[in-house]
Amino acid sequence: MSNTNTPSVAIKQLDANSKNFAAELDALLAWESVSDHAVVTAVDEIVAGVRARGDAAVVEYTQRFDGLAVNAMAELEMSQAVLQQALKDISDEQRQALELAAQRVRSYHEHQKQASWSYTEADGTVLGQQVTAMDRVGLYVPGGKASYPSSVLMNAIPAKVAGVGELIMVVPTPKGERNNMVLAAAAIAGVDRVFTIGGAQAVAALAYGTQTVPRVDKIVGPGNIFVATAKRKVFGQVGLDMIAGPSEILVLCDGKTDPDWIAMDLFSQAEHDEDAQSILVSEDADFLAQVQASMDKLLPTLDRQDIVKVSLRERAAFIHVHSVEQAAEVVNRIAPEHLELSIADPEAMLPRIRHAGAIFMGRHTAEALGDYCAGPNHVLPTSGTARFSSPLGVYDFQKRSSLIFCSPEGASALGKSASVLARGESLTAHARSAEYRIKD
């Protein structure tokens, strides 16, 4: 381990042609979030407390963990007037930026909305799927330093576009500290109710309901280890978004983008937290050296250089590849949350990309644009889960019911097959139920 006080950070160098590359890449990507025993025990107790005692338990935990001198749950609900006031209190520039972002996020997500469908078969049988929105969704917003207004927009707007009836936000206000940008974002996104509660107690209140907090159908939004552990615990009782790991970026560059731009794109990921991961992939070894030089030059100018240094030292890598095919292979093996294709013809590369949360195409599309206001969601699958999951979207707040409306003829024909198959599974009441509908 090198010293954290070195002025620059030498990025780990990998070569995709090296014999040990697969193992080195595995080691680079290794990440597992573990809830330790003490956290699990604490969360179990909090969730059980809220289920058993409702509001009283939530008030008690909020007194204890957030240092709030409140006596009743009613004091922990924030009125719409407070949200509107926050919207007035932020600067005009901030308000306009939030409103532009909200409008762009809304119009992108409108494209994701799914409609019911059905078709009729020759014998009159109708088959289809009815698509409906969830009734009520809970949005967890962290307090303190990890409190991001952009996350409020990214989580709330797809739910609203889906047509969710009621959107309940919970946001802890430790020692009474509020974030006006977060409250303004809630006002713009149309959040219906806000409770100033957090931690496992907020997750439990949303999952099971209390006298005051209504039970929701799904909980979305990021949180600390207590929140993540509580979400795992209530999985099945309510729907959940994914439980996010550290954020990552993979920049694929052909060597023709300004190395300062690429250095800053990598820093923008690394500044999130010490576990964040920044990876640069290029066929051009000279360019990798140029980006290292840019990073050395720019690192001292960063506000969050202490975090950036740890993140780069522990988790960053430059990967030298030797063909377009090899570049695509590396991308797909990593299945990055954010993929920047800083190359001349990103559209030609697209068909080779099988796994990525979001793809930022061309030299001008910095990841930061997508984080805030391009339109697509910034809640993305991390830690290689883009292999099987998708950005948060309207589809996460809609659900489907199968529709089957058999004509008498259809029921009779299908009944014969169903009877054979049911008897093959020794489920004879199934068979007899189908046989009642056979006509001959």
Q: Please enumerate, by residue number, every residue annotated as part of a binding site.
A: 140, 201, 224, 247, 269, 272, 338, 371, 425, 430
Cα–Cα dist 220/226, whole Å: 15
User: Which one of the listed residues 338, 355, 367, 378 is annotated catalytic?
Assistant: 338
Q: Which is nearer to a second copy, 75 or 121 (CB)?
A: 121
Based on the shown chain and the rule CB under 8 A, indicate whether residue 256 belongs to the binding site for a second copy.
no
Q: Which of 66, 254, 283, 367 binds a second copy (CB under 8 A)?
A: 367
Binding mask 416-435 for a second copy (x = CB under 8 A): xxx-xxx-xxxxxxxxxxx-
| Residue 351 neighbours by CB under 8 Å, 6+ apart | none
Based on the shown chain and the rule CB under 8 A, indicate whether residue 437 belongs to the binding site for a second copy.
yes
Based on the shown chain and the rule CB under 8 A, indicate whether residue 393 belongs to the binding site for a second copy.
yes
3-state DSSP call for residue 14? strand
**337: annotated active-site residue:** yes
Q: Which of residues 22-61 bind a second copy (CB under 8 A)?
A: 33
Tell me which long-range contacts 208-211 makes (C-beta under 8 A, separation of at least 24): 208/50, 208/51, 208/234, 208/237, 209/54, 210/50, 210/54, 210/55, 210/57, 210/58, 210/73, 211/54, 211/55, 211/73
Q: Which is nearer to a second copy, 108 or 226 (CB)?
A: 108
Q: Which of 26, 135, 177, 325 binds a second copy (CB under 8 A)?
A: 135
Q: Which of residues 293-312 bind a second copy (CB under 8 A)?
A: 302-304, 308
Cα–Cα dist 96/52, whole Å: 45
Based on the shown chain and the rule CB under 8 A, indicate whether residue 259 belongs to the binding site for a second copy.
no
Based on the shown chain and the rule CB under 8 A, indicate whether residue 333 belongs to the binding site for a second copy.
no
**378: annotated active-site residue:** no
Contact 338, 250 (CB under 8 A): yes
Which amino acid makes up residue 96? Q
Residue 62 CB, shortest distance to a second copy, in Å, is: 25
Q: How far is CA 53 from CA 140, 156, 210, in A?
A: 21, 29, 8
Q: Which is nearer to a second copy, 177 or 258 (CB)?
A: 258
Q: Which of 42, 126, 225, 310 binds a second copy (CB under 8 A)?
A: 126
- The site that binds a second copy (CB under 8 A) totals a number of residues, namely 122
First to last CA, the chain: 80
Q: How far is CA 292 from CA 263, 288, 323, in A?
A: 8, 6, 21
Based on the shown chain and the rule CB under 8 A, indicate whether residue 218 belongs to the binding site for a second copy.
yes
The residues carrying an active-site annotation are: 337-338
